[in-house]
Structure 1
Amino acid sequence: MRLPARSWTPLTLFLLALGACLVFIVSFPLPEVKNDAVEYLALARNVAAGAGFSYDGATPAVYRPPLFSLLLGGWFAATGTSSVLSAAVFQSLVHALGVLAAFLLFLEVTRSRGWAFGGAIFLAVNPLLVTRVVFVLQEPTLLLFTTLAAWLSIRLVKALSPGRAALAGAAWGLATLAKTVTGFAPFLLLGMGLLPGRWRVSWRGWEAAALLVCFAAVIAPWTVRNYLHVQRFIVVNDQGEGLLEWNVEHADPSGERLVAELREKGVHGAERRAALWRYVRENPWHFLGERVVKNAVRFAAPPRDWWIAQGLVRPGEHRTSFWILSGLFHMPLYLFLLFRTWQWARGSVDPVFGFLALLYWSYWIEHAILWGDPRFGLAVYPLLVCMVLPVGRGEGKGRIAPLIEEPEPAAV
């Protein structure tokens, strides 16, 4: 592959990713704003109007995580428009930035700049990612900040220092403000210090402290804001009870009846939570067995929300298009995930690569337990692409072999 000159590579990737999204936006009608997107859009519009993080412009909101709506609201304020088209352009810019973040991550993992560039192009024009920009949902933002945090974590593991630990901690704090599901990542990093022998990352006290302090420092202001408004300790957002109720309601007909009865009787607060948890305890096989397996399978499936919104497929339908998307963009990557995990377990690849595999597995398991919608896997999709990149064993623990530099093309 003949690469652009070094100084032009990031710009080339950014423009390619942005152009793919903008062409897609003008080529098809924008889907209806509904479900979760209604709330994210309302939050962003009120932020832009100076009414705070609120659905109605008066009551502070704590149900949704803040980062996406705050950034989108800032974009609305800067551009002077809060249309759905404006939101799609914002999403396109975030997608392009996510591709750049992935390119940086790939450069830390592979020794070949050409492979890193190719992996970034794969993301830039990937239909699973490009089609997300027309929805007012979090996925492009989650991918950007999760990938940035993973990149800074890899740099930290390769060369431990308090400064790099502080940057990684702050990045995971931002990713957690985007969605709390990444809150475990700093502890996963530290946990690698407990692994035996060749898998261990050797932490020193100052580095561990810098990681955790900066992680907490980024999140703490929002936690304080939540407490001041609702007098409850809510670290990021208060979506846990809603998720619990949703899972009970969709468990089976008896779960649906229970939730309907609670609503009809006006049961709220601690009494409502106790009734929901009692149902979970009475149905362990569903919540710890059957449901977990189904969630894991759904998480690993390609998201087809745009095709569904266009009426091209029905939810849950597995026609030829589903298997084409799976075969091109998912199944091979998961096979490489298994292969790289096996290599890391044998000590054939470095601890930095092991962190990426552990991060993906942990994220997947977490969503199997919580809820495994296919779109939720997009936040860590660049980690799957990392599994395909050629890697080498480093010259010692916590290091990867140096980057192989392709010569820049001669000036014309």
Structure 2
Amino acid sequence: MKRPWHAALAASAVALGVRLAVVAWAWRIFPPSADGTYYHKLAVRLAEGHGYTWLWPDGAVTYAAHYPVGYPALMALGYALFGVHPVVAMVQNALLGAAMAWATHVLVEPIVSRGVHPRAPFLAALGVGLHPALVPYTAALMTEGTTTALLTVAAAFASRARGVSAPRRVVPWLLAAGITMGIATLVRPQSLVLAPALGVLALARSFSWRARAAAAGAVLGVTLLCCAPWTLRNCMHMHRCALVSVNAGWNMFIGEETRSGAWEEARFPEECSTVWDEAEKDVCLERVARRRIREAPAAWFAKMPRKLAVTLDYFGAAPWYLRTANASAFSERAKLALGTVETVVSRLLLVFALAALAFRPGPRRNLRRLTGLLGVALALSPVGWLAYLVLALLAAEAALAEPAGAVLFGWTAAVIAATAATHAVFFGAGRYGLVVVPFVTALAALNLRRVSRC
């Protein structure tokens, strides 16, 4: 593996192989479950030419937009080509996982010039390819794995753009990053807020701030253009020009109602109980949520730590999904075992990521080390979610100090910050925290330079 692409290919092959092994084990025994049930049904209707519509038990058919269209559309493409069966979607998940491993290698490559061991990109990509929080989730017909892969691939395109000095050669990479972010936004609408940051990070320091602002606008513009046809569709059929989906009001209402910080069966407000239109019901719930927050802002803010804790302390997406899909095939003991393994690995990688940023060379070394040690202490405590916020601070500082790693460092900070902000407002769940996993794993691999000097 003398050439970088050889190592990237090897890591991607491993990532694909283990994920296909999961598919071979899971496809017969784990049917679509939880939200995956709805994604599958919507994908089937799309593949059969019925559009993004819902068939009700009484035979009525209505246009739908509660669930974002992106993931069912990707599934429908596979169903149309290879047949309607969940195994097709699982294989698509496996391919995206392999692409994520490749993209991780691309993200770490530029930092090798800063004293990181040449094997670090391969180690990072292999870590993502084998991560116990990501691999078993291949069987889940859910959006989080796809979103995670798309955000990693988009960052890899930005990293390629940053390595180019000629403005004309930057454009194709910016376009690729914008299209990928457009797909990610259609899969998970909150991804939109990250698009401008990717444009800023994609240009090297030799470019002016005006050029950076233009790049941010370009990536955001391409992202919005990808969503525009769907937005127009919503204007026509949903009686509301929603960018992607009409569930922000639902999420805000559940976030206001929750006591644990996670999803809970909400007590439906009386004033919305007779609103049947999908978009109008979302507006009604948002109105109720905003009113309650204004009436008791302190109580709403007090829930934020619990929301972040259930999002970042413990991911547990795969154990939860597999147990929900088929409890007889995946016991409570298996759920606990897999959850324990992924939590231990995730916390250790978080510790290594904090160490990699805290002990890197450069100015403000003592302050960084104190901050990193605080993060490590938090990572080994019951409030591990705070360690991710510390990591975001260290990553932001590293992005400003080290141009070679600006995309990886800056994107890590942006993804953690956006995830925390989103679920502090809405409600939390471990599966929503999966998007930080590849970037934490990539940072952890940077410690290899210190090992290599021993």
TM range (shorter): 0.7 to 0.9
CA distance in 1, matches of 2:286, 2:401: 47
Percent of matched pairs sharing the same residue:
20
Residue 378 of structure 2 corresponds to residue 379 of structure 1: no
1:298 corresponds in structure 2 to 310
1:280 to 293, 297, 300: 293
Q: Deviations over 1:144-202 (max 9, x none)?
A: 21111112233344547360433333332222112111111133356789xxxx9x973
Q: C-alpha distance in 1, partners of 2:304/2:285?
A: 24
Question: Structure 1 regions of 5+ residues with no counterpart?
Answer: 393-412
- In structure 1, distance between residues paired with 2:16 and 2:440: 22
Post-superposition Cα deviations, 1:101-150, rounded to whole Å, max 9, x if no partner, equal: 22222224444542111111111122211110111101221122111111
Q: Deviations over 1:42-79 (max 9, x none)?
A: 11111111111223294322112222111111111111
Change beyond 3 A, Cα 1:258–1:17: closer
1:106 matched to 2:108? The reply is yes
Post-superposition Cα deviations, 1:362-397, rounded to whole Å, max 9, x if no partner, equal 2232223322211112223211123224399xxxxx
Q: Distance in 1 between matches of 2:155 and 2:265?
A: 43
Q: 2:426 aligns with which of 334, 358, 370?
A: 370
Correspondence for 2:377? none
- Matched with 2:133 is 128
- 1:9-408 matched pairs, under 5 angstroms: 9-27=7-25, 30-56=29-55, 58-80=61-83, 82-111=84-113, 112-159=117-164, 161=167, 163=171, 164-189=173-198, 202-204=209-211, 206-251=214-259, 259-262=267-270, 266=274, 269=280, 272-289=285-302, 291-308=303-320, 309=323, 310-312=330-332, 322=339, 324-333=341-350, 336-337=353-354, 339=358, 341-342=393-394, 345=397, 348-350=401-403, 351-366=406-421, 367-390=423-446
Offset of residue 295 of structure 1: 1.7
Assess if the C-alpha contact under 8 Å between 2:235 and 2:241 holds in 1.
yes
Code of the aligned partner of 1:333: L
Aligned equivalents of 2:231, 2:308: Cα separation in 1: 31
**Preserved CA contact (<8 Å) 1:245 1:259:** no
**90-99 vs 304-313, which moves further:** 304-313
Shift of 1:212: 3.3
Q: 1:235 to 1:141 in 2, by over 3 A?
A: same
Pair 139,109 (structure 1): closer, same or farther in 2 beyond 3 Å? farther
Note if contact 2:349-2:441 (Cα within 8 Å) is conserved in structure 1.
no
Q: How far apart, CA to CA, are the structure 2 residues paired with 1:24 and 1:272?
A: 39
Q: Which runs of 5+ in 2 are unaligned?
A: 324-329, 359-390, 449-454
**In structure 2, the residue corresponding to 1:330 is in which secondary structure?**
helix
- The answer (yes or no) to whether the contact 2:133–2:316 under 8 Å persists in 1 is yes
Secondary structure of the equivalent of 2:50?
coil
Alignment check: 8 A CA contact 2:43 2:76 kept: yes
1:317-368 alpha-carbon deviations (Å, 9 max, x no partner) = xx78655432322343256247364375376433444412431332232223
How big is each residue's C-alpha offset from its partner over 1:228-284, in whole Å with a ceiling of 9 and x where there is no partner?
A: 2223111111111221232244348xx999834527952564555433322222332
Q: Distance in 2 between matches of 1:110 and 1:54?
A: 49
What CA distance in whole angstroms lies between the structure 2 residues aligned with 1:257 and 1:377? 21
Distance 2:437 2:153 in 1: 13
Q: How many aligned residue pairs are there?
A: 379
Q: TM-score normalized by structure 1?
A: 0.79
Q: Compared with structure 1, are the counterparts of its residues 238 and 313 closer, same or farther at alpha carbon in structure 2 (3 Å cutoff)?
A: farther
| Alpha carbons of structure 1 residues 265 and 314: separation in structure 2 relative to 1, 3 Å | farther
SS of 2:52's equivalent?
A: coil
Q: Give the distance between the partners of 2:395 and 2:264, measured in 1 at CA.
A: 45
In 2, Cα distance between equivalents of 1:229 and 1:246: 26
Q: Aligned in 2, Cα 1:154/1:391: closer, same or farther, shift over 3 Å?
A: farther
